C-alpha cells in the first residue's frame, strides 16, 4: 500500500477532532513545562525544579499531604470493605440506601462540605440538654477545629467523603467479579474467623479494585486545596497556592510535577484494570 | 446505577433480622458525622433567623439580594456554557476513537489522558492556563510572534468569563469522553447495517437512529458536566482570585469571615447550591435509566 492510499483510510473529520483534542490536552502542559525551564535568564534548565524541591516547606507540606492521603485510603478501606462485603453477603436490602449515600458527595461540593464541617465542629461537643436542666455545661470534646488531632480527624473524614463514590464503586465492582459468598463459605468450612476471611481471603481477591480506588483517592487528596485551606491544614495544595502568589517559576515546576503524579496514578489504574474506564469528576 | 444484583435475590438469603444491620452501623455513623450532620446544620441554619427562630427570610433574600442572585446566575451560565461546549467537543472526540474509525491504540491513549485531565483541576490547572493563555503565556506569545495576532488586544482576558470557561473545559470534555466512549460502543453494528439495507445514508442513520438512541446518554452526561463545573471552587479562585463572583467564591468568602453579616444567609446560600446539585443528579439518574433501554 502506498502512502496516499494509507492516508485515505484515515477518516478526515475524526482526525481533526482528535488532533484538536490533543492540542487542548498538551498545550497547557507544554506551556507550563516550557515556562518552568526558563528560570535562569537565557538558559534552559531545571533550576526551578531544584529550587522548588529544595524548599523545606515543600517537603513538609507534600509529606503531610501524602500522610493525609495514606490515612484517608486506609480508613476508607477499613470502613468500606466490610460494609460492602456485609451488604453483599447478609444485607442486600441495605444496598440501595448505601449506594445512595455514596453518591451524595456528588451533590455536596467540597466548599459546602467544609462549610458544614466547620459549622458543626467549631463548637465544643457537650452533653445535650444538660445545660437546660442543670445550668452547667459538660464539655465532652473541645472544638475539633481547635487542635491538631481534631483537625486531622476532620480533614481525613472530609477526604473520605470526597473519595467515597470512587472507593465504594471500585470495591463493589471488585466484589462483583469474585464470588464472595462461595469464598466465604469455603473459608468458613475451613474454620476461618470473620477477621481472617476479610483480611486473608476477601482483601487479596479484590486488590486490583482496591489499588485503583486508592490511586484515585490519592490523586484527589494530594493536590486538594479547599478543605485543607479552610481547615487551616499545612498541606501541599494551600502551599502551592501561596507559592503562586509571590513566585513564578517554582509553582510552574510543581504544577508540572503534580501533573506527572496524576498521570502516573491514572496510568497505573489503566494498566491494572485493563482499560476499564474510571469515570470521575474534578472539584 | 442502582440495581440489586440478581444473585442477591436468587440466593436463599438468610433471614434478614435486625442483627444484620449492626454490620453497617460504622458506615452509617460515618455518613451521619461527615455528611448528614454538616448538611443538616446548614439546612437548619438556612431557615433560622438571628434569634434562633424559624424563618423564610434567608431563602427569600437569596432571590431579592441582587448580588447573590447574580452569583447564582453567573455560576449557572458558566456551568451551562462549559457543559455544552465540553459536551459537544467531548462527544466528537469520543466519536473519533470509537465509531469514527481511528486506530485502536489512540483510543486507550485518549481514555487514559482523559482520566488524568478530568482529575487535573484546582490550583495546578489554573497555573497551567496562566502559563498558556496568560498575558505572557506560551500560546499568547506564539499567536503574537508567529501569526502577528495579539489576543489581548483583541479583547481576550484569561481572568474573565471566557478565560475561566476555557480553563474549565480542560476537565469538562475529558469527563464527557469517559462517559460517552462506552455509550458509543453500545451502538450495534446491526442497526447501521439494517438502516443501510433499507437505503439510509450516513446522515439519515445518525439523525434518525444513532442520535435518538444516544440522546439520553448525551444529555445525562452534559448534566453531570454541569454539576461538575457548578461545584468547582479552587480553579476559579486560583485563576481569578475571587474577581469573578461565582457562587462558590461567594460562599468561600462567607466561610472565611462573615462577609454578609448574617451567618444564616450563608447557610441558605450553601443549601441553594446543594438544591441545584440535587436537581442535576436527579436529572442525570433519570436520563441514565432512559439510556439503558437501548444501550448495553
The reported pLDDT for the residue numbered A282 is 43
Residue B68, SS3 per DSSP: helix
Query: Which chain A residues are closer than 8 Å to B278 by Cβ?
Result: 107
Give A47-273's CATH code, choosing from 3.30.470.20, 1.10.3720.10, 3.30.2290.10, 1.10.260.40. Answer: 1.10.3720.10
CA pair distance A60, A54, nearest whole angstrom = 11
Q: Specify if B158 maps to a domain.
A: no
Give the chain B residue nearest A216 (alpha carbons): B119
CA pair distance B235, B258, nearest whole angstrom = 22
The reported pLDDT for the residue numbered A110 is 93
Q: Specify if B263 maps to a domain.
A: yes
Q: Specify if B74 maps to a domain.
A: yes
- State the residue range of the domain holding B87: 66-126+172-291
Which among B231, B238, B252 has the least Cβ separation from residue A283? B231
Tens digit of each residue's pLDDT (9 = 90 or more) over B81-130: 999 999 999 999 999 998 888 888 888 888 888 888 888 888 999 999 99
Which among A35, A91, A106 has the least Cβ separation from residue B227? A106
The reported pLDDT for the residue numbered A274 is 64
Backbone torsions φ then ψ of B188, nearest 5 degrees: -85, 140
Name the residue with cell 513564578: A248
CA pair distance B139, B130, nearest whole angstrom = 10
C-alpha cell read off for A112: 459546602
Name the residue with cell 453500545: B186
Q: Give the distance from residue A202's alpha carbon to the nearest chain B alpha carbon, in angstroms.
A: 16
Q: Specify if B71 maps to a domain.
A: yes
Q: Specify if B41 maps to a domain.
A: no
What CATH number should be reported for the domain holding residue B236? 1.10.3720.10
The reported pLDDT for the residue numbered A9 is 66
Please, which pLDDT band fits residue B5 given cuts at 50, 70 and 90?
Answer: very low
ipTM (interface pTM): 0.85
- DSSP code of B24? G
- Estimate to the nearest angstrom the gap between the alpha carbon of A41 and the chain centroid: 38
Query: Which chain B residues are closer than 8 Å to A86 by Cβ?
Result: 20, 23-24
Mutate to test the interface with A, among B16, B107, B119 (most CBs of A within 10 A): B119
| Contact status of A232 with chain B (Cβ, < 8 Å) | no
Domain count of the fold of chain B: 1
Tens digit of each residue's pLDDT (9 = 90 or more) over A97-116: 998 899 888 889 999 999 99
Please, which pLDDT band fits residue A59 given cuts at 50, 70 and 90?
Answer: very high
Backbone torsions φ then ψ of B159, nearest 5 degrees: -90, 35
CB contact under 8 A, B119 and A282: yes
Backbone torsions φ then ψ of B116, nearest 5 degrees: -70, -50
Whether residue B288 contacts residue B4, with contact meaning beta carbons closer than 8 Å, is answered with: no
- The predicted model scores a pTM of 0.86
CB atoms inside a 10 Å sphere around CB B52 = 8
| Contact status of A167 with chain B (Cβ, < 8 Å) | no
Q: Residue A187 pLDDT more than 60?
A: yes
Amino acid at each position: 500500500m502506498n502512502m496516499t492510499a494509507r492516508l485515505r483510510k484515515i477518516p478526515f473529520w475524526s482526525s481533526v477532532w482528535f488532533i484538536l483534542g490533543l492540542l487542548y490536552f498538551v498545550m497547557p502542559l507544554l506551556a507550563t513545562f516550557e515556562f518552568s525551564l526558563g528560570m535562569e535568564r537565557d538558559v534552559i534548565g531545571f533550576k526551578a525544579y531544584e529550587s522548588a524541591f529544595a524548599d523545606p516547606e515543600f517537603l513538609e507540606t507534600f509529606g503531610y499531604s501524602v500522610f493525609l492521603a495514606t490515612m484517608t485510603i486506609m480508613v476508607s478501606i477499613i470502613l468500606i470493605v466490610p460494609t460492602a462485603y456485609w451488604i453483599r453477603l447478609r444485607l442486600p436490602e441495605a444496598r440501595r440506601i448505601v449506594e445512595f449515600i455514596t453518591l451524595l458527595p456528588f451533590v455536596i461540593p467540597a466548599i459546602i462540605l467544609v462549610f458544614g464541617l466547620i459549622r458543626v465542629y467549631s463548637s465544643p461537643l457537650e452533653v445535650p440538654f444538660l445545660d437546660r436542666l442543670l445550668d452547667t455545661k459538660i464539655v465532652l470534646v473541645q472544638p475539633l477545629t481547635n487542635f491538631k488531632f481534631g483537625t486531622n480527624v476532620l480533614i481525613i473524614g472530609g477526604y473520605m467523603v470526597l473519595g467515597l463514590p470512587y472507593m465504594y464503586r471500585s470495591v463493589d465492582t471488585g466484589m462483583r467479579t469474585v464470588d464472595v459468598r462461595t469464598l466465604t463459605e469455603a473459608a468458613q468450612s475451613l474454620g476461618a474467623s470473620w477477621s481472617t476471611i476479610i483480611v486473608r481471603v476477601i482483601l487479596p481477591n479484590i486488590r486490583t479494585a482496591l489499588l485503583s480506588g486508592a490511586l484515585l483517592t490519592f490523586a484527589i487528596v494530594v493536590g486538594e486545596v479547599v478543605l485543607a485551606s479552610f481547615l487551616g491544614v499545612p498541606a501541599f495544595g494551600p502551599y502551592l497556592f501561596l507559592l503562586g502568589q509571590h513566585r513564578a517559576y517554582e509553582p510552574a515546576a510543581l504544577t508540572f510535577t503534580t501533573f506527572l503524579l496524576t498521570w502516573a496514578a491514572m496510568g497505573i489504574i489503566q494498566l491494572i484494570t485493563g482499560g476499564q474506564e474510571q469515570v470521575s469528576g474534578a472539584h | 446505577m442502582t440495581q440489586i444484583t440478581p444473585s442477591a435475590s436468587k440466593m436463599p438469603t438468610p433471614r434478614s433480622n435486625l442483627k444484620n444491620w449492626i454490620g453497617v452501623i460504622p458506615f452509617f455513623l460515618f455518613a451521619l458525622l461527615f455528611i448528614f450532620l454538616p448538611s443538616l446544620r446548614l439546612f437548619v441554619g438556612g431557615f433560622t433567623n438571628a434569634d434562633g427562630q424559624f424563618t423564610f427570610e434567608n431563602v427569600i433574600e437569596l432571590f431579592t439580594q441582587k448580588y447573590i442572585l447574580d452569583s447564582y446566575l453567573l455560576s449557572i451560565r458558566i456551568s451551562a456554557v462549559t457543559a455544552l461546549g465540553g459536551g459537544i467537543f467531548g462527544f466528537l472526540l469520543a466519536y473519533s476513537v470509537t465509531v469514527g474509525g481511528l486506530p485502536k491504540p489512540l483510543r486507550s491513549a485518549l481514555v487514559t489522558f482523559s482520566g488524568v485531565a478530568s482529575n487535573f483541576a484546582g490550583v495546578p490547572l489554573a497555573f497551567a492556563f496562566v502559563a498558556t493563555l496568560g498575558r505572557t503565556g506560551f500560546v499568547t506569545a506564539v499567536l503574537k510572534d508567529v501569526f502577528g495576532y495579539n489576543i489581548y488586544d483583541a479583547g481576550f482576558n484569561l481572568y474573565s468569563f471566557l478565560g475561566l470557561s476555557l480553563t474549565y473545559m480542560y476537565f469538562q470534555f475529558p469527563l464527557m469522553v469517559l462517559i460517552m466512549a462506552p455509550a458509543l460502543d453500545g451502538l450495534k453494528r446491526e442497526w447501521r447495517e439494517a438502516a443501510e439495507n433499507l437505503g439510509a445514508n450516513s446522515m439519515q442513520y445518525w439523525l434518525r437512529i444513532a442520535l435518538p438512541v444516544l440522546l439520553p446518554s448525551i444529555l445525562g452526561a452534559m448534566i453531570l458536566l454541569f454539576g461538575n463545573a457548578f461545584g468547582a471552587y479552587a480553579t476559579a479562585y486560583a485563576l481569578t482570585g475571587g474577581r469573578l463572583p461565582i457562587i462558590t467564591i461567594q460562599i468561600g468568602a462567607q466561610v472565611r469571615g462573615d462577609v454578609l453579616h448574617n451567618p444564616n444567609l450563608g447557610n441558605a446560600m450553601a443549601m441553594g447550591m446543594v438544591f441545584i446539585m440535587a436537581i442535576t443528579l436527579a436529572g442525570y439518574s433519570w436520563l441514565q435509566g432512559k439510556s439503558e433501554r437501548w444501550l448495553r
